[in-house]
Amino acid sequence: MRFYSTNKKVPSVSFKEAVIKGLPDDNGLFMPEIIPHFSDEFLRKLPQLTFQEIAFESAKLIIEDEISENELLSIIEGAFNFDVPLRNVHDNIHVLELFHGPTLAFKDFGARFMARVMGHFLKSDAKEINILVATSGDTGSAVAQGFLGVEGIKVTLLYPKGKVSKIQEQQLTTLGQNVTALEVGGTFDDCQHLVKTAFLDQELNKKLNLSSANSINIARLLPQSFYYTYAHSKLSDTSGNTYFCVPSGNLGNLCGGLLAKKMGVPIAGFIAASNANNIVPEFFRTLEFSPRASVQTISNAMDVGNPSNFSRLLDIYDHDYQRIIADIKGISFNDDQTRALITEVYEQHNYLMCPHTAIGYGGLKHFLNPGDSGIFISTAHPCKFIDVVEPLISEKIEIPLRLQKIIKQEKQAISMTKEFANFKSFLLENN
């Protein structure tokens, strides 16, 4: 399989090149030249397959022979060694809990898979890779854990100062070893701009081997399709259509679902649910994409004003806006509405949600028709947003032991302005 840039201004590359490079030279995003279709036999037997079996068959179709089947199976079994439960919340509404990995967030799926894939490819290379990651919270900790101690890889995390939760910040800044955290005076969009600009800087690319671990990396996107296929298979015996509601920021998670649908999973449609940064829902309503500066909310991982994966969304649909709005609806919730959803679901259904998950529930409840089934994506354990959630339910949230240990560790972060010149100087001086 070859991978092209969504901007279509540079030659296509192999899967290995797409993963290691992260971002094409024309500032597009890598996509497979052909999105393969699952066989009818595979789709029929889906309900009998484990998550790992589904992941293996899905990855094999796109990666083809660049990784041997034995090695690919080993990568998948190592990356996804935790539960992926689908729970019924009430009536025809279900939640897919993606927070059972090491960092208690859905980012573990992409980060752990990519770390193992990249480690596999680097076995035969003598060069050191410098991974740059912009994070609004959970991406950074998942990538840091995934690459911690991996030989031949340095990781630099950029996060917006004062705009991630305390627990998220501790996860980002306490690891050390080959992981460096930069506390940027700005927004997530500023962090993302620094990373993208670095990939286009000729001097940096001449001196450093740069790669990305954000959802702009194809190895982060691919595993996000696996859990949509898996979750849909668990509701295959229910009546009506099945819809997914995805808390949406940078759109990597939504594009993972769109990829699964294009590969043949009979998903009826999607709901992209956002917070006050409602650029994407506005697009579905007006068909005009209008990026702008992000604003801070209690669902901080979705505080994105210019989602990078929007170009992938357009690419999947060949820029056919009518097909896009036929498959995807958009909705947004402000902080007060998000708090109300957390309280409502806990009091009425005894299910506790983080602020991002609550927005997913709200979007599904708003659009789901009687007789159809719906799944909303739970992106993070509610304990990661303890300052928001505990006052709403007037109860203490138990913090898992692995997070309790992190909270007590000393923060190690380097302050950084949002000016690219400062970031570039840091990279050149520290590599």
User: Which residues are known catalytic residues?
Assistant: 107
- The β-bridge relationship of strands 3-5 and 30-32 is antiparallel
Adjacent-strand bridge partners of 81: none
Q: Where is 324: in which H helix or E strand?
A: helix 321-327
**What is the residue whose two structure tokens read 């990538």?**
143
Query: What does the block give as tokens for 13?
Result: 């590359």
Helix 138-147, helix 166-173: angle, nearest 10:
30
| CA–CA gap between residue 297 and residue 295 (Å, rounded) | 7
Kindly list the distances between the CA atom of residue 128 and the CA atoms of 152, 301, 380, 394, in Å, as whole numbers in the listed order: 5, 30, 32, 49
Amino acid at 127: K
Name the region of 264 (left: φ>0; alpha: ψ -120 to 50; beta: rest): left
Comparing C-alpha atoms, which of 228, 255, 236, 212 is closest to residue 58? 228
Tell me, rounded to whole angstroms, the distance of Cα 339 from its chain centroid. 23
Query: What does the block give as tokens for 53?
Result: 């079996």
Amino acid at 9: K
Q: Are 367 and 243 in contact (CB under 8 A)?
A: yes
Amino acid at 420: F
One DSSP character per residue, 138-199 reads HHHHHHHHHHTT-TTEEEEEEEETT-S-HHHHHHHHS--TTEEEEEESS-HHHHHHHHHHHH
